[in-house]
Amino acid sequence: MHKITRRQFLVTAAAGTASLSLFGIAPAWATTDTLPLVQHAIPRTGEKLPVIGLGTAGNLDGIRDPATKKRLIVVLQAFFDHGGRLIDSSPMYGDAESAIGELLNDVKNKDSLFAATKVWTYGREAGIKQMYQSFKRMGVEKMDLMQIHNLRDWQTHIATLREWKEQGKIGFLGITTSHGRDHAELERIMEAEELDFVQFSYSMGERAAEQRLLPLAAEKGIATLINRPFQRGELFMNVKGQPLPKWATEFDCHSWGQFFLKFVVSHPAVTCVIPRTSKLEHMVDNMEAGRGRLPDEATRVKMLSLLNSI
């Protein structure tokens, strides 16, 4: 494989499919980059977001090492070059917020960034301090989305988030959970409070959100951010060695990663999904899932029965 500079990357990314062979990436799925970007509206404002975002729980570690940093700049550049906007972080993810801020200094075409992070502590003053720290670490003057991580002390933080939204410090407010935890409590909060976003897990292997959370979000006009779309990579283990069905091309799907992501974003109540990756090849693969056709309801059923039969 050739060693390439960032400039070469930008030029080659613009040049499209043929250029990706420079990375040793098979061009089969890369051809979809010419297909239209799928964007979903945030119900409260109508602002459209590309359906594929980026999670940051662990994938941006190690940027003190110059070689790792260089590699991650290329990965993040690919996110923006392929139309990405929403990056989700948290003070819970070690140095992730600082890594985003530092890497963004070296990334071009990032003006469309939709910055999302979380408050993850107890108490009003501690929350305020932590959120100011997140702004500084991520290098943003306004946080597009601030979420309360894992419902922690949500009654306290939600008051601050309302004030900050009024003052224009944050664009939207939300709340998160994952792994199917606390659904009943989250449901009560969604009923009682005016939330802009909710974040929870939803994937082909973890579908509890279909029962109550997704329909309720649609009913209440709350945007949904989906975490763990690959169940932290576990879904790939389930299909290891299995060929992708030929009919996947009918909805512009060319890899198992795209199969899993297109299933998630084709749910009518899903706004955006935030897969995590530290690899260029996977980043491009994931971004391509946000282009072209999505499976319809009958195809979604077929996708599930295929996965169950493997």
Ligand X SMILES: NC(=O)c1ccc[n+]([C@@H]2O[C@H](COP(=O)([O-])OP(=O)(O)OC[C@H]3O[C@@H](n4cnc5c(N)ncnc54)[C@H](OP(=O)(O)O)[C@@H]3O)[C@@H](O)[C@H]2O)c1
Residues lying near ligand X in the complex (CB under 6 A) are found at 55-57, 59, 88, 149-150, 176-178, 199, 227-233, 236, 257, 274-279, 282, 285-286
Nearer Cβ to ligand X, position 46 or 176? 176
Nearer Cβ to ligand X, position 257 or 292? 257
Q: Nearest CA to 53 among 71, 68, 63, 39?
A: 39
Q: What is the DSSP letter of 266?
A: T
* Closest residue to ligand X: CB criterion: 55
Contact assessment for residue 145 and residue 114, using Cβ atoms and an 8 Å cutoff? yes
Q: Which residues pair with 117 in a beta bridge?
A: 146
Nearer Cβ to ligand X, position 210 or 297? 210
Nearer Cβ to ligand X, position 152 or 302? 152
Nearer Cβ to ligand X, position 33 or 285? 285
How far apart are alpha carbons 275 and 305 in whole angstroms?
A: 23
List the structure tokens of 191: 């009923």
List the structure tokens of 187: 């449901």
Shortest spacing between CB 100 and ligand X, in angstroms: 11
Shortest spacing between CB 149 and ligand X, in angstroms: 5
Shortest spacing between CB 298 and ligand X, in angstroms: 25
Shortest spacing between CB 168 and ligand X, in angstroms: 24
Q: Nearest CA to 276 among 108, 93, 32, 21?
A: 93
**How do beta strands 197-201 and 114-119 pair?**
unpaired
Q: Where are the alpha helices (DSSP H) in the chain?
A: 6-15, 66-81, 96-104, 124-138, 154-166, 183-192, 213-220, 234-238, 256-265, 280-288, 297-309
> Quick count: other Cβ atoms within 10 Å of Cβ 123?
12
SS3 199: strand
How far apart are alpha carbons 237 and 286 in whole angstroms?
A: 17
Nearer Cβ to ligand X, position 115 or 166? 115
Q: How far is CA 275 from the centre of its chain?
A: 5
How far apart are alpha carbons 98 and 308 in whole angstroms?
A: 40
Shortest spacing between CB 255 and ligand X, in angstroms: 6
Shortest spacing between CB 225 and ligand X, in angstroms: 8
Nearer Cβ to ligand X, position 139 or 180? 180
Shortest spacing between CB 201 and ligand X, in angstroms: 7
Shortest spacing between CB 229 and ligand X, in angstroms: 5
Nearer Cβ to ligand X, position 65 or 297? 65
